[in-house]
A and B are shown apart, each in its own frame.
Chain A
Amino acid sequence: MSDFPLFPAQASTIAWQVDALYGFLVLLTVVFCILVFGMVTIFAIKYRRRSDDEQPEQNHGNLALELSWTIIPLFIALFVFLLGADVFFRLQRAPADPLEIYAVGKQWMWKIQHESGKREINTLHVPKGQPVRLTMTSEDVLHDFFIPAFRVKNDVIPGRYTTLWFEATQLGEFHIFCAEYCGTQHSGMIGKVIVMDPTDYHDWLMGASASDESMVEAGQRQFQALGCETCHKSTSSGQGPSLVGIYDKPVKLKNGQEVTVDVDYIRESILQPRAKIVDGYEPIMPIFEGQISEQSLLQIVSYIKSLTESAE
Chain B
Amino acid sequence: MSDAVKANGEPKNYLNDTYGIKSWLLTLDHKRIGIMYLITLTAFFLVGGVFAAFIRLELMTPKGDLFEAETYNKMFTMHGVVMIFFFLIPSIPAVLGNFLIPLQIGARDVAFPKLNLASYYLYALGGMFAIAAILMGGIDTGWTFYTPYSSSYSNSFVSLALVGVFINGFSSILTGVNFMVTIHKMRAPGLTWFRLPLFIWGHYATSLIQVLGTPVVAITLLLVVFERVFNIGIFDPTYGGDPVLFQHMFWFYSHPAVYIMILPGFAVISDVIACFSRKRIFGYSFVAFSSLAIAVLGFLVWGHHMFVSGQSTYASMVFSFITFFVAVPSAVKIFNWSFTLHKGSIKLDSPMLYVMGFIGLFTIGGLTGLFLSTLGTDVHLHDTYFVVAHFHYVMVGGMVMAFLCGLHFWWPKMTGRMYPEGPAKLGVMFVFAGFNLTFLPQFILGYMGMPRRYHAYPEEWQALNIMSTAGATVLGLGFGLTIAYFIWSLFKGEKAPANPFQAKGLEWDIPSPPIAHNFEAIPIVTWEAYPYGPEEAASQSTETATEPAKEDEIV
Q: Please measure, in the bound complex, the distance between the C-alpha atom of A66 and the C-alpha atom of B340, giving whole angstroms.
A: 12
Check if B488 is an interface residue, CB within 8 A of chain A: no
Partner of A47, one of B148, B282, B346, B371: B346
Partner of B375, one of A4, A22, A48, A87: A87
Q: Which residues of A contact B284 (CB under 8 A)?
A: 60-61
Q: Please measure, in the bound complex, the distance between the C-alpha atom of A50 and the C-alpha atom of B278, giving whole angstroms.
A: 13
Given A39-B338, A184-B70, A186-B454, also A144-B383 (CB < 8 A): yes
Check if A198 is an interface residue, CB within 8 A of chain B: no
Q: Please measure, in the bound complex, the distance between the C-alpha atom of A33 and the C-alpha atom of B331, giving whole angstroms.
A: 12
Check if B456 is an interface residue, CB within 8 A of chain A: yes
For residue A68, give the distance in angstroms from its CB to the closest CB of chain B: 9
Across the interface, do B444 and A153 meet the contact criterion of CB distance under 8 Å? no
- A136 nearest in chain B by CB position: B310
- The stretch of B32-40, B201-209, B361-369, B514-522 that contacts the partner chain: B361-369
Across the interface, do B149 and A182 meet the contact criterion of CB distance under 8 Å? yes
Q: Which residues of A contact B348 (CB under 8 A)?
A: 44, 48
Across the interface, do A155 and B449 meet the contact criterion of CB distance under 8 Å? no
Across the interface, do B383 and A180 meet the contact criterion of CB distance under 8 Å? yes
Cβ proximity bits B361-394 to A, threshold 8 Å, 1 near / 0 not: 0011001101101111111101110000000000
Query: Interface on chain B toward A: helix, strand, loop, or mixed SS?
Result: helix
For residue B132, give the distance in angstroms from its CB to the closest CB of chain A: 22
Q: Please measure, in the bound complex, the distance between the C-alpha atom of A183 and the C-alpha atom of B148, giving whole angstroms.
A: 11
Q: Please measure, in the bound complex, the distance between the C-alpha atom of A1 and the C-alpha atom of B308, giving whole angstroms.
A: 28
For residue A271, give the distance in angstroms from its CB to the closest CB of chain B: 10
Given A56-B345, A187-B456, also A179-B383 (CB < 8 A): yes
Q: Which residues of A contact B464 (CB under 8 A)?
A: 4
Cβ proximity bits A46-75 to B, threshold 8 Å, 1 near / 0 not: 011110001111111110011001100110
Q: Please measure, in the bound complex, the distance between the C-alpha atom of A12 and the C-alpha atom of B146, giving whole angstroms.
A: 31
Interface size of A by CB at 8 A reads 85
Across the interface, do B342 and A58 meet the contact criterion of CB distance under 8 Å? no
Q: Which residues of B contact A66 (CB under 8 A)?
A: 283, 286, 332, 336
Of residues B64, B70, B448, B536, which shows the largest number of chain A Cβ atoms within 10 Å of its Cβ? B448
Partner of A40, one of B309, B341, B343, B460: B341
Q: Please measure, in the bound complex, the distance between the C-alpha atom of A146 and the C-alpha atom of B383, giving whole angstroms.
A: 10
Across the interface, do A49 and B345 meet the contact criterion of CB distance under 8 Å? yes
Of residues B335, B347, B359, B534, which shows the largest number of chain A Cβ atoms within 10 Å of its Cβ? B335
Q: Which of B507-548 contact A (CB under 8 A)?
A: 532-537
5 additional A-B pairs beyond A65-B335, A186-B73, beta carbons within 8 Å, are A8-B449, A81-B324, A152-B379, A181-B452, A183-B140
| A interface, CB within 8 angstroms of B | 1, 3-8, 17-18, 21-22, 25, 28-29, 32-33, 36-37, 39-40, 43-44, 47-50, 54-62, 65-66, 69-70, 73-74, 77-78, 80-81, 83-89, 91-92, 107, 140-142, 144, 146, 148-149, 151-155, 157-160, 162, 175, 177-188
| B interface, CB within 8 angstroms of A | 64, 69-70, 73, 140-142, 146-149, 152-154, 237-238, 242-244, 277-280, 282-286, 307-310, 313, 316-317, 320-321, 324-325, 327-328, 331-332, 334-336, 338-339, 341-348, 356, 359-360, 363-364, 367-368, 370-371, 373-380, 382-384, 444, 447-449, 451-458, 460, 463-464, 532-537
The 10 closest A-B pairs by CB, nearest first: A148-B449, A87-B376, A159-B237, A84-B374, A88-B375, A58-B533, A61-B283, A43-B341, A77-B324, A187-B454
